[in-house]
Amino acid sequence: MNLIVAVDKNWGIGKDGGLLTHLPQDLKFFKEKTVGKVVVMGRSTLESLPNGNPLPNRTNIVLTHREDFEKEGVTVVHSMEALMELCNQYPSEDVMIIGGASVYNELMEICDALYITKMYHEFEADTFIKNVDALPQFKVVWESEVVEENGISYQWFEYRRVKLKA
C-alpha cells in the first residue's frame, strides 16, 4: 500500500474542503502514479472532486461511516477492517491512499512508499498530516529537481519504509 499527497511547509494539505493550490504538473504526476490503480479516499475527499465523481480509469474505494452512502463507480467501505480485507485482493503496490488527512494519518504508518510533493510555501491550511520527516521508519529514496508553477516552488519526494535497528 502506497500514499500520495501534496503538503506545504507545515504539512498542511487542505483548506475549506479543497486543495491549497492548483499545480498542473503535480496533477500530472498524481495521474501517472494512480491511473490503472486502486485509489482509497475518505468521503470528504470524494466530495471535493469535480461534481463529487470518482476518478476515471481507477478503482475508487471510499471510506465512510454512513451506511446509506452510495455513489456510482465507487466501492464503499465502512471500517478499516473492511478496507484491509478489500485491499488484500489487490497487489499491495497497486493500492494508493489519496487522502484526506484522516485517511492519510490512519494509514501512513503501514504504507511501503510515500510520494510526497513538498511545496515550499506556507498556506492558510486547516487540514494537516503528520510530519513524515519525524517518522524514523521512512527514508527519502528519490527526489526530483525543484520546479516552479504559479509562483510556488516545489519538489517531489519518494519515501520508503526502512527496517529499523532493534
Ligand X SMILES: NC(=O)c1ccc[n+]([C@@H]2O[C@H](COP(=O)([O-])OP(=O)(O)OC[C@H]3O[C@@H](n4cnc5c(N)ncnc54)[C@H](OP(=O)(O)O)[C@@H]3O)[C@@H](O)[C@H]2O)c1
Q: How many CB atoms lie within 10 A of CB 10?
A: 12
> Which of 5, 107, 108, 113 is close enough to bind ligand X by CB under 6 A?
5
Q: Which stretch binds ligand X (CB under 6 A): 39-47, 107-115, 138-146, 149-157?
A: 39-47
Helix runs in the chain, H state only? 24-34, 43-48, 80-87, 101-107
Considering the rule CB under 6 A, would residue 42 count as an interface residue with ligand X?
yes
- Residue pair 43/64 in contact by the 8 Å Cβ criterion: yes
Considering the rule CB under 6 A, would residue 99 count as an interface residue with ligand X?
yes
Distance CA 150, CA 133 (A): 26
Q: Which stretch binds ligand X (CB under 6 A): 5-13, 31-39, 137-145, 155-163?
A: 5-13
Return the amino acid letter for 126: D
Q: Which of residues 135-164 bind ligand X (CB under 6 A)?
A: none
Q: How many CB atoms lie within 10 A of CB 110?
A: 13
> Which of 38, 39, 63, 113 is close enough to bind ligand X by CB under 6 A?
63
Q: Tell me how long the chain is.
A: 166
User: By the criterion CB under 6 A, which residues form the site for ligand X?
Assistant: 5-6, 13-14, 17-19, 41-45, 48, 63-66, 78-80, 98-103, 106, 127
